[in-house]
A and B are shown apart, each in its own frame.
Chain A
């Protein structure tokens, strides 16, 4: 093997490119423009080879930095330029099954901007826009997240709901499963940030598929949307009253719902998970099923938490619950990404919840604080909380 050029000296903690696709460009003479063109045309990016992922950017710029949201890794990782070319690269070790959202921070002259990876069409959307996505070895998008022509679709009805607790109107989207019948009794799920769950985590498609596969029974879902999210989702008594005393009783009067704790669920991610737990704490045992994803469950064992004043009401709620935990529900599904900083808070909450005697299922994924992580956990979470008749139905 030819010795690596000087710029390839492998430092401790970095990945040796020898044997990787990018090594073809590095190990020989300075690549020509044609070599780089050929390289770009013949690979998908990022290049995934076993547990290594090579991030590549092409452009005549002065600096390129990989910006990701993987807690534990340096927030910004500089790409290295291959001398004599306009090609930049960085090799990252990513464990099997990882999924990473990222952007490049590109500096040209004095100007610096965040861009999506022009060589990668794979995008994940969120309320702030979209990120590029790297699927590491072993990760595949679950097939039950895709629309299928064979799957009957549920219906979604937009409703305006007047809330005395919130002193105003709230819009909800009401999902009914395909083949809805008034003669059945359906469980009810209240999903916080419902519109975002649907737009970014494919909620209604996932529900259609899970119901069709009978992983879950037919469910009615109230997709709620907050007014002032920061106000209402940080342990707000008004929000809890709206959900528990207004929304749910009204729907249970109007629709064929189970109308008992085992047929009521709260769902939320991030602050939405806080709102779900907060509502369950304020109305214990009213909701027999909780699905809490990447909850922003700030707390402090000693001193103060380190997440800033915005989290103060949450830390107060979580600290109080940790001091005097009690069963607020029957079954709780908790999930969190290993790549997000909230893993500490979520891991810490789980034994507290379990200690109350509730049936708690906790799942971690090699993913971050994002909607597709939450989407990918929905099958397991919903099937745990509302197991469908899959084992019994053969058509």
Chain B
């Protein structure tokens, strides 16, 4: 395998096999490494594991703690942010209700027997209905978040602007940014709050698990065996688009029924033309701006089969 010089590296979960240390040492030996661990929330500062892998070159950006401090200082912004989150929760509930019915209708049509010329176009229409719903949901999220930004102009508020300045200062000496996993929405929201993605994308970016998810075009949430409900995958958030056309699915072996070919087929069809990249522990997918190389990562094909990413390419 010829290793490219990556711009973005997507990694699987960091337990039980942490790989981020060896990956960063390989692609940016000696460089300073900004780390975003906001997805760990209250445990953001528990950096012993990362330090043991990366050493003293890490520069924690502490986005979660900084945001918490801002909420304490800026009551108006905190209230507006909470209201936005509450609106988003409500929209998600409505989306999930519609999705449940749309997915059921599509599954029923997929199992319906009959001549392809009769059933085929109906199946396509049912699939398109889900894809339209997914796209609509992302637009709703975007519009709520845009409305919040336009109304509250967080970057113009002193607390945010000061924190952002500190973050940019920390970032300035770093050639690599590691975005650890955790809560995908918290990660996404903190990066958006401080408007950091334009700064991040000029560096080598390594995303682990949820950190990998937010770097694609869409953040897709999935759990095939949930405690409640049918486990329909949901489009959760717009991604930051650093890795085009890819939906990263970390911890797939645990969260997805990979041996259920019809289920995997539905996932691949629904998310097409994006490609689903399975990222289990130890797996890696590199993007250099032109091409991918993979180590362990698998692709879900549109027939529901799984193949090593490199072979699919």
A residues at B contact (CB < 8 Å)? 179, 181, 183-184, 210, 215, 379-380, 382-384, 387, 389-395
Residues of A within 8 A of B15 (CB): 395
CB distance from A75 to the nearest CB of B (A): 35
Render B163-199 as a binary contact track against A, CB cut-off 8 A, 1 for contact: 0000000000000000001111110000000000000
7 more contacts with CB within 8 A, not counting A391-B236, A394-B209, A394-B251, are A380-B227, A383-B226, A390-B227, A391-B221, A391-B226, A392-B221, A393-B183
Q: Is the CB of B210 within 8 A of A379?
A: no
Known: A181-B42, A380-B228, A384-B228. A391 touches B234 (CB 8 A): yes
Q: Is the CB of A394 within 8 A of B213?
A: yes
B residues at A contact (CB < 8 Å)? 13-15, 39, 42-43, 181-186, 209-210, 213, 221-223, 226-228, 234, 236, 250-251
Q: Is the CB of B228 within 8 A of A383?
A: yes
CB distance from B278 to the nearest CB of A (A): 12
CB distance from B9 to the nearest CB of A (A): 16
Instruction: Return 15 A-B CB contacts under 8 Å, by A number.
Output: A181-B42, A183-B42, A380-B228, A390-B223, A390-B227, A391-B223, A392-B185, A393-B39, A393-B182, A393-B184, A394-B182, A394-B209, A394-B213, A395-B15, A395-B39
CB distance from B168 to the nearest CB of A (A): 26
CB distance from B178 to the nearest CB of A (A): 14
Known: A392-B236, A394-B250, A395-B15. A184 touches B42 (CB 8 A): yes
CB distance from B173 to the nearest CB of A (A): 28
Contacts between chains A and B (CB distance < 8 A), count: 59
Q: Is the CB of B221 within 8 A of A395?
A: no
CB distance from A350 to the nearest CB of B (A): 17
Q: Is the CB of A395 within 8 A of B236?
A: no
Residues of B within 8 A of A390 (CB): 223, 226-227
Q: Which of B42, B185, B209 sits near A395, CB closer than 8 Å?
A: B209
CB distance from A144 to the nearest CB of B (A): 9
User: Chain B interface mostly helix, strand, loop or mixed?
Assistant: mixed
A394→B43 CA distance, assembly (Å): 15
CB distance from A187 to the nearest CB of B (A): 16
Q: Is the CB of B14 within 8 A of A387?
A: no
A181→B39 CA distance, assembly (Å): 16
Q: Is the CB of B227 within 8 A of A394?
A: no
CB distance from A81 to the nearest CB of B (A): 45
Q: Is the CB of B181 within 8 A of A394?
A: yes
Q: Is the CB of A395 within 8 A of B227?
A: no
A174→B96 CA distance, assembly (Å): 35
Q: Which residue of A lies closest to B13 (CB)?
A: A395
A392→B255 CA distance, assembly (Å): 12
A390→B227 CA distance, assembly (Å): 10
Residues of B within 8 A of A394 (CB): 13, 181-182, 184, 209-210, 213, 250-251
Residues of B within 8 A of A389 (CB): 183
Residues of A within 8 A of B250 (CB): 394
Q: Which residue of B lies closest to A390 (CB)?
A: B223
A392→B42 CA distance, assembly (Å): 16
A390→B183 CA distance, assembly (Å): 9
A309→B217 CA distance, assembly (Å): 66
Q: Which residue of A lies closest to B43 (CB)?
A: A179
CB distance from A63 to the nearest CB of B (A): 45
Known: A215-B227, A380-B227, A390-B226. A395 touches B43 (CB 8 A): no
CB distance from A217 to the nearest CB of B (A): 11
CB distance from B47 to the nearest CB of A (A): 15
CB distance from B116 to the nearest CB of A (A): 35
Q: Is the CB of B209 within 8 A of A379?
A: no
